[in-house]
A = this chain, B = another copy of it.
């Protein structure tokens, strides 16, 4: 990533000086911020096209949902929207950029006011149609019902505690792959470390439900809308690991990559559906909000 601008939010302020634009290389966090000491916070990454954030409201919805799951104060939606817009404006000259925004529980030596920032950056370049991926399935260790039985496990919240997701990506590279699909121990397809799974069966496109303890996929949501407009059937339902091997095509969806087709799953060749891939990604690139 290439950082372009950093917006620091003053979440304790009621004044007009609640956003400050600083050089993204500035040190802004003390060593006692709970983002850094406990991964105790939430984030979203929104893509920008020529400085315009895409699916911004869906990301703000999910940010608020994550805050509730972590018992964080409800984000001031207007303030965060303004922070994202302000950061995105610094990316006007970049056809494709991204804004990552973060709220932590604050400084553990401080007054209990959350910490907030929004970073504008240019992600690693990607092709207009994402390159096919080699993917491995990995055990996520959890049953598919933990979001219901054990909400303190925070499954389905987009938290800063991503060490497991990072370790899973390293395991994928160790297996000569580039990405991961997590499976529950009771045999259900969950999600990627930073993506949502779409599987095609005949004319139907399927993605797993959030009740399995996964994130609501903002990119998957808009990809499904595009498929629907094109007359395809879409469905949200639990998907077994066995069904993955029967899908006629598979994708991983994420903000910064769009809908990336899977070429190999656990070493087995998967057909790349160039037609559906193009439909989804053209629509994703055309989003305005």
A102 CA to B36 CA, complexed, in Å: 9
* Contact code string A138-167 (vs B, CB < 8 Å = 1, else 0): 111111001001111111010111111111
Instruction: Tell me the residues in window 15-61 of chain A with beta carbons closer than 8 Å to chain B beta carbons.
Output: 24-33, 35-41, 43
Segment from A1-9, A234-242, A279-287 that makes contact with B: A1-9
A149 CA to B121 CA, complexed, in Å: 37
A160 CB contact (under 8 Å) in B39, B43, B109, B117: B39
Is A274 close to B, CB under 8 A?
Answer: no
A110 CA to B37 CA, complexed, in Å: 20
Contact of A102 with B37 in the complex, beta carbons under 8 Å: yes
A283 CA to B159 CA, complexed, in Å: 39
Is A263 close to B, CB under 8 A?
Answer: no
Contact of A70 with B163 in the complex, beta carbons under 8 Å: yes
Contact of A38 with B162 in the complex, beta carbons under 8 Å: yes
Contact of A1 with B164 in the complex, beta carbons under 8 Å: no
Secondary structure class of chain A's binding surface, majority of residues: mixed
Is A86 close to B, CB under 8 A?
Answer: no
Contact of B159 with A160 in the complex, beta carbons under 8 Å: no
Contact of A35 with B36 in the complex, beta carbons under 8 Å: yes
Is A108 close to B, CB under 8 A?
Answer: yes
A108 CA to B160 CA, complexed, in Å: 14
Given the interface contacts A24-B32, A142-B142, does A1 sit within 8 Å of B161 by beta carbon? Answer: no
Instruction: Tell me the residues in window 102-143 of chain A with beta carbons closer than 8 Å to chain B beta carbons.
Output: 102, 104-105, 108-109, 117, 119, 121, 138-143
A141 CA to B148 CA, complexed, in Å: 11
Other 8 A-B pairs with CB < 8 A, given A24-B109, A27-B27, A151-B171: A6-B31, A28-B29, A35-B36, A36-B102, A38-B165, A141-B153, A142-B142, A153-B167
Selected A-B contacts with CB under 8 Å, 17 pairs: A1-B108, A29-B31, A31-B102, A31-B117, A35-B37, A36-B104, A37-B43, A38-B163, A39-B159, A39-B160, A41-B163, A71-B167, A105-B166, A141-B142, A151-B167, A154-B167, A161-B162
